[in-house]
Structure formats: C-alpha cells, structure tokens
Structure 1
C-alpha cells in the first residue's frame, strides 16, 4: 500500500497493482531515487563547468555564450526543483517523517522552465541578428542590453508561472515515489500551461533557423551569379564576407538545433507513450510506472541534453573547458605534493 496525501492533509490509501494483483517491486523507488541523484549531479557539474568556463574565458564573453550561460543556469535551477523536491518526499517517506517540501514547491519549476524556453528563442534571435545585420548586432549588444534581455526573460517567465500556480491543480502527492499527480480535470490546463510554451518556442526556433538557412542559400546563389557576370568584383567580395559570417555562425546554430530537437524528441516520445497508455493500455502497472518513474525522470534527461551538447559538441566552448580541467588537475597535483607544515 502506498500513502498518498492530498493537499487537504488527508491520507488516501492507494494500491499499486497490476491486473494479476501483484504490487510493483519494492526496489523501484530506490532505483528512481538513485537515478535522480546521479543525473542531477551530472547536470549540475557539467552545466556549472560550462558556465564557469564561459565566465573565466575572455574569448567567450560574447552575447551568444552569455545567453547560453543563462539557459544553463535556469536549467540548473529547474533540475534542482525537479530532483530535490521528489527526493525529499521519497526520503521522508522512508524515514516515516512528514516531508517539508511538497507539490507546491515542485510547481515552482515552472519559472526556470519558461526561462529555458525563452532563452532558446533569444539565442536563435541573436544569431539571426548577428548574421543578417552584423554591424548593427555588434553595436546593439552592449553589456547593458545583454543584462536587460536576460532580466527580461526572467520577468517575462513570471507571467505564465503565476498562471500555472493559480490555474493548475497542485495534484496529489505520492510520497513513496516523490511524484505529484495532476488531477484529471486540470490535465488539459496543465498541458496548455506546460507543453504549449515549449511547442511555441520550438516553432519560433525552427522558423528563425529556417530563415537563416534560406538566407545562406540566397547569398551563395548571389555569389555564383555575380562571379559568372563580373568575376571578383567588389560586390562579390562583399557577398563572400556575408557568406563567411554565415559559416562562422553555422556551428552555434546547428548546436542550438541539436539541443531543441533532442529535447523535443524526448518530450514527444514521453507524450506519445503516456497518451497511448491512457487510451489503450488497461494495466495499472503500466500507468503507475509512467506516472511515478518514467515521466518524472524524463524531465531530468531532457535537461541533461543542454550542457552535454554545449559542453561537448560546441568546439568553441569544449576546448576552453578541457584547458580549464587540465589547469585544475595540475593545481590538484601541486597541492597534493606540497610539503605539509
């Protein structure tokens, strides 16, 4: 039997059984807890490593990288909320004490989640401006403007967050699994408040990057046409500079697309399995595994994609990260062999 506590404080007895009447294995909550701790540690370490590298490396003090740092910081906060609240609930259940964190605290993840979505659009828009109007971009993106854009992303995220907190049911706490189950009557509102912003930001991202792809193709065709007419004219030189600028910004754009499509793929796959199960699968075990294990941990996997791609795939960040690690290892060796007083 699992203790399920609603927000009125009453306790509901809920059996987690399948069609044959067998309970879920008792080790499942422990596996989920260990997974949360491992992936949370990995996300925080890798994200912190990327952010620290951007901070101490002068060549990375560019608008794109600063916006990436904001994306990763919001992801770290979202990860802490996605992991700390369920882990606290699960540990409290095992110790037999009342959890001081519940589903209301878990709902606060909406704020960094929306900042994540807004940051992705900001990064894409910054690249569009950098490619289409490089001189205007360099003149506009001062430290004050960058700070204002980042602050604006957090302030803007407050609006949907407040809407989510007010309109989305706080759900039911399943303490053993550290899960917060949204009630049926607020499931649609939850989808609109949580899934719709992610879809909207992804569509904007695709549109912006499609615009850049079309722009690159147009410049390439212009160069071919001008060279066939007048050879290495001044206009061709100007167009080649534009082409070079597009190629220089291509890797950050590809990196951004990998991040977006990776996150979308994970969330779409989860939604598909979740909805298919709701419609055609009757086994309570399937639903319990999806509700208590798969769905909560999938959010953490999606957060892990951001630092993984930016830290390992994006060479401009990866090289300084490795150099930073080597300096840290050398310093550790020096400290370890230094004579003790």
Structure 2
C-alpha cells in the first residue's frame, strides 16, 4: 500500500508514471534524449550564471532553476526508460552509497509515523557542483542502450544531480510537481471536465457568449469593421505598418481566446460584458491592465507568426513561444489554462486569420462549449 503523503510531497515512482505518456520520442531514440539532457544541464548552468551576474535583481531564480532541474529530470527519466533502469533504482543505489546522511524524521501521516530524511554530507559551491554535473552529462553522450554500460555513468550523473538540487536551495517536491504540470499541460489533450470556465457563476450579460458569430468586413479605405448581432463593435482598424500584414484583422485572436480559453478581456470590453457585479474581478481581470496583457500576447505571437507564414501547415507551436505566453499572463485567471489549450487557441485563431486575410473578411464562428473557432465566407 502506498503511504499517504502531505500535498507537497510526491513519490518518485509517481513522477515516473505521470510523465511517461508525455514522452513523444520513439523508444529506440537515444540520441535526442541524450542531447536534450545535455542541453537542459546547460540551461541549469546558465541560470546559475545569471544569478551570479544579477544577484538579488534575479527575482525569478528559484522559479527558473526549479523549471530547468525539472526538465533535466524529465530527460534523465526518459533515458532510464530506454535503458530499462527505473529512476527509483538509481536514486536508491546512489543514496545507499557513502556521502549521504540518513536521519529519522517524524512523519505527519498517522499510519506512517516515521520517514527517512536523506541529504548529502558535504556540498560544494553550486558552481562546482554544476561543473561536475556538466562533466557527467558530457560522459553520458557516449552512452549506448546497453544496460550494463549505461549504469555507471547514470549513477554518477544521478549523484551529481541530487547534489545540484540540494546546492540550489530549491524544493525537490516543487521541481517534480512543476515539471509534471508543465509537460502534461503542454503535450496531453486536456480533459474538458477539468478545464476552467472563468465566468460560469456570472449572469449571461456578464459572460463571454457561449456561441457567437462576428462579421468581419473591409471597406475600400482599407479599414476593417466588426459587427456582432447586427451592431458594429470596436473601432475600425488598419494594419498601422508600411508593409501590409493583415494585423487589421487581429481581433480574430481575441475571439479565439474567448472561444477556446474562455478568456479575453478585450472581447469582453468590445461587447460590454465585463463582470461588474464583482468589483474585484472587474478590476483585476477585466479592466485596463488585463486588456493590455491580452493585446500584448496577441502582438507578440503575431510578430513571431509572420516569419512562420502565420503557422500555415503547422500542427504545433514551439515550446519557447508557449512558455513566453505562460510567463506573460502570470497573475491572471488564464494562467490556469494548460499550454496545450493555448496551442489550440493559437493554431485555430491563425487558421481563421489566414482565411479572413485571404477573403478580406468573413464570419468568425466561436463555440465555447466545443472550444472551437471556425471561418465562414460571407
């Protein structure tokens, strides 16, 4: 029977299970896993460098190092999977070796009163530990799929990794929980029953519409116009740039956010459906700063999309772009949406945008129940 744990704790075996289905590489793929592991160790070292350079000004250090250590562990776990050595076996063998202090601690779980607390006896400076970790990562590049040849190198790397976690001063449980949330949110199709609906407790006139059709037209003056339920909304827009790129139709992205993420302060403002019955929600989630965030995300993604032919022919969005979005919306309700849902909103939004741009207008049809956005010619 699995011992009950406090909400902050997690079994390493559970971590292995939770991340296994996010591994999209083929089981015979070893090189990309090794290169990914090497790259993530480099990212941990880069985070340490920024800490040295910026000192107390590096306010995101703990969050960043937790994320990079989590990504490193993901690749280590994937490598273990390919050489048929469970991560728990590596941890157990390393922790039973010399150099670790094992203490008995009182456990909060009533049925399991005692637990082991294990830590390295002596930890060098973080820089020294990371240099050693980098050296072991380099040696892992020569590992092949032979279990016996791989084990010694994996044990050395695992020991250095655990020392790096301790020297970094982060919570190892936070590293695991954060990585699970990140990779499952990025790669797995979310369960609709577990997705947030930010306005379902409000009256209909304060909700984003469950279903909507927006007419987008362009007049001879080059300006785009929006009409909802026969009424013009918003201001006429131009591209506001010398090289016409279609940004006059960018409200499509706010419609995509509304339909798929159930979030768009900009769309709420356009149709006057702000949640004014709750002053705190209206101020923090629906007003000026939130609208700026919605517009800022749209503008940044658009700048990236222009060089990618507006995502035509693509069925995914880069992890780096999605991580930027996640960081940009921190503190707002939409941060609860998994990255996979953001990817859906971006790809569906740009699919409709390309068609609107091609036809210089059209009808945008949004369905919040199905979390879809589609185009219909007028």
With normalisation by structure 2, the TM-score equals 0.25
Q: Identify the structure with the greater helix proportion.
A: 1
Name which structure has the greater RCO, CA cutoff 8 Å, separation 6+: 1
With normalisation by structure 1, the TM-score equals 0.27
